[in-house]
Amino acid sequence: SSQEDGSRMEKLRQLMDHYEPNDPESIQRSFARHLEYSLAITRFNFTMQDAYRAAGLVLRDRLLESLNDTNAYYREQDVKRGYYLSAEYLIGRHMQNAIANLDLEQSFKDAFEDLGMKLEDLFAEEADPALGNGGLGRLAACFLDSMATLSLPCWGYGIRYSYGMFKQGIKDGRQVEEPDFWIGDGCPFEIPRPDVTYPVRFYGKVEEAYENGKNISRWVGGEIVQAMAYDNPIPGFDTYNTNNLRLWRALPSQEFDLDAFSSAHFQDAITQRRKAEDLSAVLYPNDATYEGKELRLRQQYFFVSASLQDLLREFIKRPNYKWEDLPEKVAVQMNDTHPTIAVAEMMRLLVDVQQLQWDRAWELTRKCLNYTNHTVMPEALEKWPVEMMERMLPRHLQIIYQINGIWIQKLLQRYGDGPLIAALSIVEEGDVKKIRMGHLAIIGANKINGVAAIHTEIIKKETFPEYYKWCCDNGEQNKIVNMTNGVTPRRWIHCANPALSEIFTKYLGSQEWLTDMNKLKDMLAYKEDSKLHEEWMAMKRGCKEKLADWLKSKMNLEIDQDALIDIQIKRIHEYKRQLMNILFVIHRYMELKKKSPSERAAFQKRVVLIGGKAASAYVNAKIIIKLINNVAKVINEDPDTKQYLKCAFVPNYCVSAAQVMIPASDISEHISTAGTEASGTSNMKFVMNGGLIVGTMDGANIEIREECGHDTMFIFGCQEHEVAGISARAQEGHYPIDGRLQAVFDEIRSGKFAGQAEPEAQGEFESIINRLCNIRAAGTWDGDKQLVQQTKSRIPVDIFAHHSRTLCACVDLPAWLR
Ligand code: KOT
């Protein structure tokens, strides 16, 4: 009877209405239970990997409790929800962060030390989930931590790539890419949800019909892929709130399989199955460059469609939902243009599926969606060929055309016909017609934001000037806003540098600074406190020791801990100018070499560490890696200088490497050509750890300088407004090569770092310095194709002038840094 059912349910509810206790002994019991029953391990024989997995399951139990309670609370309160749509999440390891955020640090430490295990050894067993390329993906991960900590009801949506960012190996000084199957035997922090799946259609055609007095469009045929949810709980710090990162995995659709099996197309069914799974197989390893691959557009639509279906289903579940309320209840943030097909998909779901009128749907869509721009590099702007979109997403192309038609109509009314219309159209005309995703995003979004003050100004004046004009002409100046990036101090101070965290907490009297960074200003009261200075130096020393051990174990490099630690870690990119850094290292080496032994002893010892991955097809970036490795080899083996200058390329830079390197830095390099780095985020992490920035007037460096004081940074190089002029003058030959830079070029040309032993590398090195000098390359090392590609590159032709100016400024660093 239903009464009996009811009382059984009640019993079950009571059984489940219980929380796992968090004292050390209970943690130990929970750990033993998971080892024995969840992992089927015997008590006599388990590895550290088993221990890590069991400890992960202990945490997962607790994460599930707070995730479920948080979700129930959000539903009960009928709150407005935020959804972050991102193709990338560079989350890094979970375990240490989860322990800190769940307030389990002491219990875990006591529990595991009592069992003879060090927590750091457990943490080291975790694969570093790298479902992102660099800054953009890491920003998404920091935001998740911060939103949970602020108790904001916000979820992240993305793709559960089977293979994340490749692992970078170095062989003969060159990058080799190895697959990163991070899932391995399964990640204890994720929760598969086989019951949460959505169909996602590709290809097929649109049928028009007339039903109930209305014209209807129906997208039919093609292929259907299933999106299955994997939830990743994101606990907040100092709050019970736990949010969710929902990642979609592609699986073949049941419907398709049945069809195929009942026919004779077994082989086709297998191929389709593979094709479906390919969708979420691998992250595209390009940072700030667009590679117009069909599979990439499929990935984008796949996760956008599943996410919007999911969030609309949640909206519809609200008691007495009204479509009018959608913008009051749902805000969607698009992380760059990667998810901007959301504009068309939202329209399709509202108009075709929910049967709303076009105008109503458009108003709701525009109020719900927001777009963050992360780069002004033209090679990153996504433009999908109309032909591809028509085949893959025929209904979306129709919708985009309709959006564009109405938009152009409005523009014509305002400005009449003219070049402005072509500039503002979503469709780019030309030999290959294309859909400009950036334009679709700004037209479909409520707010558009840049990621640092200078970057937002550049977006207005250079990236979307016509659109900004339209906004101003329509009284909507605030459509484009600035939202300078940020980073989480929980991971980047508290977890990465526990000694510094302890200092702050001790001097400030509480951990409040971990949720309110303004509190750190109170440290100024101790500015001259010698006790603090002593503790601070001990903290740095400890971080350097950890770094030294890590470098020794990872790459057998020995460093002098009295040396100045100078770090540049970020994706390898010409605009980020790792090349300039290594040219400076060569210069310093040559200066040292010239000196007598006693003069050398007066030099500040320095260790220069450079790390970062190059996109697999990025030829010049890969040459730069090879050059750094070759230079390092010469310098580190030179008995005259190796005491005073060491240089190394640190392989496989990733979140966990950053957590060791950043706290140990004395200075770090953020030296992009002014106007090219949208924000940068590692600059913030270095500064938070008491490092000093060597940098250009670019991205968030400028705001950090205002915040911390001009005297806390070593700024050099030209400003953004000077770049165009320098570029023009350089082309007219107004910049003679500085003698010091010329000497560095000569040293490279002489074959010192490659020469006859490595003729190929020698050719490559010469080719990149020729490029700096605007020598059009008489070189033949890689055929004409390569040269054509090089001259087309966006790197300003003035780069030589630029480099020589900035290099000189580097050379002119204050004496104490030498
Ligand atoms: C663009 C296309 C594909 C993959 C990544 C990008 C990308 C990455 N665009 N911008 N970024 C970086 O985003 C960071 C977070 O806002 C910025 O700090 C950084 O300057 C950008 O280069």
Q: H/E element holding 783?
A: helix 783-792
Please state the atom number of ligand 1 nearest to the C-alpha of residue 134: 8
Q: Could you give phi then psi for residue 682, rounded to 5 degrees?
A: -70, -30
pLDDT tens digits for 2-22? 788 788 889 999 998 899 999
Query: Is the shortest distance between the CB of 374 and ligand 1 below 6 Å?
Result: yes
Could you tell me which of 170, 377, 388 has the C-alpha nearest to residue 287?
Answer: 377
pLDDT digits (tens, 9 = 90+) for 396-430: 999 999 999 999 999 999 999 999 999 999 999 99
Residue type, 766: E
Is 571 assigned a catalytic role?
yes
Active site annotation includes 506: no
Distance CA 133, CA 227 (A): 23
Of 138, 383, 434, 576, which is the active-site residue? Answer: 576
- Find the 289 Cα to ligand 1 centroid distance in Å: 9
Angle, CA 623 vertex, CA 617 and CA 624 arms, to 5°: 115
97 membership: H or E segment, kind and range: helix 95-101
Q: Flag residues of the chain having pLDDT under 50.
A: 776-818
Q: Is 374 a catalytic residue?
A: yes
Q: How far is the CA of 136 from the centre of ligand 1 (A)?
A: 4
- The Cα–Cα gap between 176 and 625 comes to 11
Q: Which tokens in the block code for residue 584?
A: 């400076």
* Closest residue by CA, ligand 1 atom 19: 680
Give backbone dihedrals phi and psi of 198, rounded to 5 degrees, phi first: -135, 145
- Ligand 1 centroid–CA 773 distance in Å is 28
Residues 6+ away with beta carbon under 8 Å from 415: 421
Q: What distance in Å separates the CA atoms of residue 177 and residue 283, rounded to the nearest whole number?
A: 13
CA dist 771 and 791 (Å) reads 9
424's CB contacts (< 8 A; 6+ apart) are 407, 408, 411, 439, 466, 467, 470
Q: What is the dihedral of CA 446, 450, 454, 460, to 10 degrees?
A: -40
Q: How far apart are CA 770 and CA 745, in angstroms?
A: 9
How far apart are the C-alpha atoms of 157 and 248, rounded to whole Å? 8
780, burial (CB in 10 Å: exposed 0-12, middle 13-18, buried 19+): exposed
* Ligand 1 pocket test target in 88, 131, 136, 686 with most atoms within 8 Å of CB: 136
**Ligand 1 centroid, distance to 387 Cα (angstroms):** 28
Catalytic residue among 570, 626, 670, 705, which?
Answer: 570
Is 685 tagged catalytic? yes
The CATH 3.40.50.2000 domain(s) of the chain lie at 78-93+128-446, 555-817
Nearest residue to 672 (alpha-carbon basis) of 689, 696, 692, 643: 696
Topology given in CATH for the domain delimited by 555-817: Rossmann fold (3.40.50)
CA–CA separation, 444 vs 335, rounded Å? 14
570 noted as active-site residue: yes
Q: Is the CB of 454 under 6 A from ligand 1?
A: no
Ligand 1 centroid vs 288 CA: distance in angstroms? 6
Looking at 366, 571, 606, 771, which residue is catalytic? 571
| Helices assigned H by DSSP within 173-292 | 254-262, 266-278
The Å distance, Cα 484 to ligand 1 centre, comes to: 13
434 is catalytic: no
User: At the top level of CATH, which class does the domain 78-93+128-446 belong to?
Assistant: alpha beta
In this structure, the residue with its CA closest to atom 15 of ligand 1 is 136
CA 286 to chain centre: 11
CB 167 within 8 A of CB 178: yes
Q: What is the pLDDT of residue 6?
A: 82
pLDDT above 70: percentage of residues in the chain: 92
Residue 225 contacts by C-beta under 8 Å, 6 or more apart in sequence? 199, 200, 201, 202, 250, 251, 252, 253, 276, 279, 302
Q: DSSP of 21-76, one letter per residue?
A: --SHHHHHHHHHHIIIIIS---TT---HHHHHHHHHHHHHHHHHHHHHHHHHHHHH
Cβ atoms 257, 289 nearer than 8 A:
no
ipTM of the complex in this document: 0.98
